[in-house]
Every structure is written in C-alpha cells, then in structure tokens.
Amino acid sequence: MKHLDNLSIKELLCLIQTGDTDAFAEVYKLYRRKVYCFAYRFVRCSEEASELTQDVFVRLWESRMKINPDKNFEAYLFSMVRSNFLDALKKQARMSVYRTANAEEPAFNSTESYMDFTECRQIAMNAIETLSPQAKVAYLLSREDGCSHEDISRQMGLSKNTVNNHIKKSLTHIRTRIRYLSPDTVLPFVLFMLVSFPEIG
C-alpha cells in the first residue's frame, strides 16, 4: 500500500475519485469505527450496525464521483448512515403494511393506520422551522450535521447545558407536533427515530 498516512482527508478523497483503492482502504480504516458507532445508535445491534457500516462504504465507493472533498466528510458519512437506515425502515413499514393487508383477519386497517413516511418527515421539518433561531441551529447541527453537543457548544459560543436544553426542547416540540397531527399512527418507532436519536459524540 502507498504511504498515505500523512495525506489530508481532502487529498485522500481526491484520490478515491480517481479510483485509488489504497486511498479508499485508508479512509475506511480511519472512519470505519466512527461510522459503526453512529450506526449502532440507530439499530442497537452489533450485527446490524456492521452491515449498515459495510453498506455505507460500498455506497461511498459506488458514488465516489459525487463526493465533495471540500465539505465535512464525517457529516457526509453520517448522512449516508441516516439515509440507509431510514430507507430500511420504510421498506420494513411497506412490508408490514402488505402483510397486514393480506392477512385473513387483519388487526387494523393498514391504509388508515400507517402514516405516510414522507408526510411524517414533512411535519417534522415544519416543526423545526418554528423553533427559536438558536434552538433551530443547535438541533440541525446535532441531527443533520452529526455534531456532538460539545462541538455545538464551541461553534455557537453557548454552554453545553444550554445546548442540551435547546435540543431537548426541540425534540419535545417536534414529537408533540407529530402526535398532534397524526394521533392514530402505529409507527411510533419510526417517528421516534426520525426526530430523536441519541446524542452523537
């Protein structure tokens, strides 16, 4: 393998875009553990977290030409984890709806009981837009950019306790909006994971 230890992540990503497998292996070595730990926060299962991690790096290689070396690469990887996880949840939800709809004695009306995932996401995003400016920034840095509360504290010039309070209040507000607009949903796990996963970092 080439001597890649001293290269910056931007340089490694540029090499990956040229098809350099050694650079890809180096990036995998550097970020595999972080991606695994982030994935584990979603699935709470070592085997599933490992599978999700592998899927993310396979997808990274396949879409390497779309990588922007100038942007936050760690946040990019975390967004891929979230995307893969939510895609899997949507697939499971569709399968569950299908099984229920085709059961001889369905326990409920699947069409009425299952909230459309896109609608749920839109409710959450609308709720985020109604947050106070500081709460909105803190929430998006945490949930969208994958920053830890400590990182957010430094970036915003706030105490970590203030950041914690902003995010907790934001999550409560979002969950309240979802429950209010869709009180009959039978996908509480999907809704919860959509807007309330543990702190990163």
Same domain, 77 and 93: yes
| DSSP secondary structure of 24-90 | HHHHHHHHHHHHHHHHHHHH--HHHHHHHHHHHHHHHHHTGGG--TTS-HHHHHHHHHHHHHHHHHH
The number of C-alpha atoms within 13 Å of 81 and in the hemisphere containing its C-beta is: 33
Q: What is the pLDDT of residues 158-190, one digit of tens each?
A: 898 999 898 888 888 877 877 776 555 434 434
Q: What is the pLDDT of residues 5-57, one digit of tens each?
A: 789 999 999 999 999 988 998 999 999 999 999 888 877 788 888 888 988 99
Query: Can you read off the two tokens belonging to residue 90?
Result: 């949507």
Domains in the chain, number: 2
- Residue 200 inside a domain? The answer is no
Closest Cα partner for 139 from 97, 194, 184? Answer: 194
The domain containing residue 83 runs over which residues?
A: 1-110
Same domain, 6 and 89: yes
Question: Using CA atoms, how far apart are residues 22 and 140, in angstroms rounded to an integer?
Answer: 34
Same domain, 139 and 185: yes
What confidence score (pLDDT) does residue 107 get?
A: 44
Buried-state track 147-171, b at ≥16 Cβ within 10 A, e below 16: bebebbbeebebeeebbbebbeebb
- With a pLDDT cut of 90, the percent of the chain lying above it is 26
Q: Residues 171, 195: contact at Cβ < 8 Å?
A: yes
Question: Using CA atoms, how far apart are residues 60 and 62, in angstroms rounded to an integer?
Answer: 6
Same domain, 9 and 80: yes
- Residue 131 inside a domain? The answer is yes
